[in-house]
Amino acid sequence: GQSLEQPSEVTAVEGAIVQINCTYQTSGFYGLSWYQQHDGGAPTFLSYNALDGLEETGRFSSFLSRSDSYGYLLLQELQMKDSASYFCAVREISGNTGKLIFGQGTTLQVKP
């Protein structure tokens, strides 16, 4: 079957570092994406990994290990505005016709 597993909730304090893990089992794999969604808003694209390794974009980094079917999103120097839901998603088909399969989302709460 197709499934993505990520923790349901994570809590951290301002200034800290938090890692949100995602393991996947899908019929095809062409990349792992991460999205941020604030309450009442739409998902915002954060990062994409098609190859093994670390991708860094400012305070956010994303890692992929295809052999382990595993990836993570790393958020550094946490800010209150980072409190949101974070979704990992696997693209199953190449090109722009590929569906995304979403995880259930991780709610991150950043405390002062």
Partner 1 sequence: GAVVSQHPSRVICKSGTSVKIECRSLDFQATTMFWYRQFPKQSLMLMATSNEGSKATYEQGVEKDKFLINHASLTLSTLTVTSAHPEDSSFYICSASDTRTQYFGPGTRLLVL
Contact footprint for partner 1 (CB under 8 A): 31, 33, 35, 41-45, 48, 50, 87, 89, 91, 94-100, 102-105
Bridge partners of 110, per DSSP, are 12
- Report helix, strand or coil for 92: coil
Spatial distance between the Cα atoms of 93 and 23, rounded to a whole number of angstroms: 18
C-beta closer to partner 1: residue 4 or 75: 4
CB of 85 vs partner 1, minimal distance in Å:
9
Spatial distance between the Cα atoms of 43 and 65, rounded to a whole number of angstroms: 24
C-beta closer to partner 1: residue 70 or 102: 102
CB of 67 vs partner 1, minimal distance in Å:
21
CB of 105 vs partner 1, minimal distance in Å:
5
φ and ψ at residue 96, rounded to 5 degrees: -95, 20
C-beta closer to partner 1: residue 70 or 98: 98
CB of 15 vs partner 1, minimal distance in Å:
27
Are the C-beta atoms of 28 and 20 separated by less than 8 Å?
no
Q: Count of residues for the chain?
A: 112
C-beta closer to partner 1: residue 13 or 109: 109
